[in-house]
A and B are shown apart, each in its own frame.
Chain A
Amino acid sequence: MTGRVGKMLMRVIAVVAMVNIIGVTSVWAERTPAPTNTRLYIIWPPDGAVIKGGKLWVRMGLRNAGVAPKGIEMANVGHHHLLIDTDLPPLDQEIPSDRNHIHFGGGQTEARLEDLSPGQHTLQLLLGDDNHVPHDPPIYSKKITITVPPY
């Protein structure tokens, strides 16, 4: 019972916060307004890194916003998506979920990659809202390129 009350309370708080941020008129718009001054970036690896063996932890950095698992509707949060060897998807739709678009709906802030083949690969982060849709405006990192030398 306390859980249900808490959930309702949180929903109310989230809605109130949204109203404060974007005004009453656009509350029901589909895309979640982005927090201000948010910066999404790849902490590690650096652009141009050479990764022997193709196995690495990607550390996902986010400033002036918080991480929340998928399905959590709150102001100023989102969850990470790692784009591998692909360009940004359409930014007004749900982010695809496949081997090039890895979702971190559990609120993870690091990603283990184990099967990068030898050659060049690109990595980019894109934040998704509670429905896996990018914010408005979208929050994404710089795209970096890493190289896996021949095994």
Chain B
Amino acid sequence: MTRQIITCLVAVMMFSATANAGDTPAPKNAYLYIGWPNDGEVIRAGHPFRVWFGLRHMGVAPKGVDRPATGHHHLLIDTPLPPLDEEIPSDRNHIHFGAGQTETMLELPPGKHTLQLLMGDHDHKPHNPPVYSKQITITVVE
């Protein structure tokens, strides 16, 4: 049985390696955007700010929940999009919201920062086609 599962996993991995997106279909008109802050927003250092995640024509589900037309949010900070056919990295530049959160508080050091949202499916992989927001730039000032 374990061997069957491993064979199955290997097959899935081989299949996804040849694609340029994940295996979970995304709704055609899904629209992901950062509701706040706005592109170009200037934020004072030392004041945590709220980022809210906007999503239309698609739903939110915690990680591990396999339901059509759903996913969970990932916030990319100061990084371009990761490879879109692999599990989204989980580190300080790629924040996962696997509990189904739809907003978060953030505090960043002074300077310019980029923010972008990317939906992940139940396996933390982007959808097909991938659903991501515009990348915005904000400035944190002393």
Q: Look across to chain A and name the residue whose beta carbon is closest to the beta carbon of B36.
A: A43
B102 near A77: Cβ-Cβ < 8 Å: no
Indicate whether A107 reaches chain B with its CB closer than 8 angstroms: yes
The reply to whether B60 and A1 contact each other, CB–CB distance below 8 Å, is: no
Given A2-B8, A107-B70, A110-B54, CB of A68 within 8 Å of CB of B62: yes
Contact with B along A95-110 (1 / 0, CB 8 A): 0000000001011111
Known: A6-B64, A59-B35. A67 touches B59 (CB 8 A): yes
A5–chain B nearest beta-carbon distance, Å:
9
Which interface class (under 10, 10 to 19, 20 to 34, 35 or more) fits B? Answer: 20 to 34
A32 at the interface (CB under 8 A from B): no
B46: min CB distance to chain A, Å: 21
Contact with B along A69-80 (1 / 0, CB 8 A): 100101011000
Q: Which of A83-121 contact B (CB under 8 A)?
A: 104, 106-110, 112
Chain B residues 62 to 86 lying within 8 A of chain A, measured CB to CB, are: 62, 64-67, 69-70
**Interface membership of chain B positions 82-107, coded 1 if the CB is closer than 8 angstroms to chain A and 0 otherwise:** 00000000000000010111110000
Minimal beta-carbon separation of B133 from chain A (angstroms): 14
Number of interface residues of A (CB under 8 A): 28
Q: Which residues of A contact B9 (CB under 8 A)?
A: 2
Digit string of B22-48 for contact with A (CB within 8 Å is 1, else 0)?
000000000000010000000000000
Known contacts A1-B1, A74-B62; A106/B69 CB under 8 A: yes
Query: Which residues of chain B are within 8 angstroms of A57 by Cβ–Cβ distance?
Result: 56
Do B66 and A3 touch across chains, with their CB atoms under 8 A apart? yes
Indicate which residue in B4, B8, B100 contacts A107 across the interface (CB closer than 8 Å).
Answer: B100
Evaluate whether A62 and B102 lie within 8 angstroms (CB atoms) in the complex, with A10-B64, A106-B69, A107-B70 already known: yes
Q: Which residues of chain A have C-beta atoms less than 8 A from B102's C-beta?
A: 60-62, 66-67, 109
* List of B residues within 8 angstroms of A76 by Cβ: 99
- The interface residues of chain A lying within 8 Å CB-to-CB of B49 are none
Chain A residues in the interface with B (C-beta under 8 A): 1-3, 6, 10, 43, 57, 59-63, 65-69, 72, 74, 76-77, 104, 106-110, 112
Instruction: State the 7 A-B residue pairs at the shortest beta-carbon distance, nearest first.
Output: A66-B100, A107-B59, A106-B59, A67-B60, A66-B99, A107-B60, A67-B100
Provide 7 A-B residue pairs closer than 8 Å at the C-beta atoms, listed in order of the A residue.
Answer: A59-B52, A66-B60, A66-B62, A67-B101, A68-B61, A68-B62, A107-B60
